[in-house]
Amino acid sequence: MPDWKLPFKPYIDACGEGLGAALHQTQIINEKPVAGPLCFILRQIKPTEARYGASQMECLFLVWALEKLHYYLDGKVFDIITDFNAVKSLLNMKITNRHMLRWQIAIQEYRGNMTIVHKSGNIHENADGLRR
């Protein structure tokens, strides 16, 4: 069960086949911090999405994961962990692509609460295994 007083940590990853996320939380159990998953979400890539480049795919997935995990993340301060460093710039970049612009607007409600953290792909196993 989630502890609503403690922060959540979503881990996200995307590839050519699917999107996966793991929502984690460090809880205090027997006076010791224990990190563990609360839920996993995944979905397949749609045929039109398969043509997206890596940046578009990861940004699409960020928006999708935030929508699916909104119940847990709304109004909370959280770090979202990704293995794709360019996602960090989505909040601030000047965008001409209409998909990216729409996604940038969609994540604005999390702007003050969300920090996007890069974690190298070879140690980013939480969500990685779900989509392979």
How is residue 92 written in tokens?
């601030």
Q: pLDDT tens for residues 32-54?
A: 888 889 999 999 999 998 888 88
Average pLDDT score over the chain: 83
pLDDT at 125 over 70: no
Encode pLDDT of 51-95 as tens digits.
888 878 888 888 999 999 999 999 999 999 988 777 777 667 777
Q: Give percent above pLDDT 70 in the chain.
A: 89
Write down the CATH number for the domain with range 8-131. Answer: 3.30.420.10
Whether the pLDDT of residue 8 is over 50: the answer is yes
Q: What is the pTM of this model?
A: 0.81
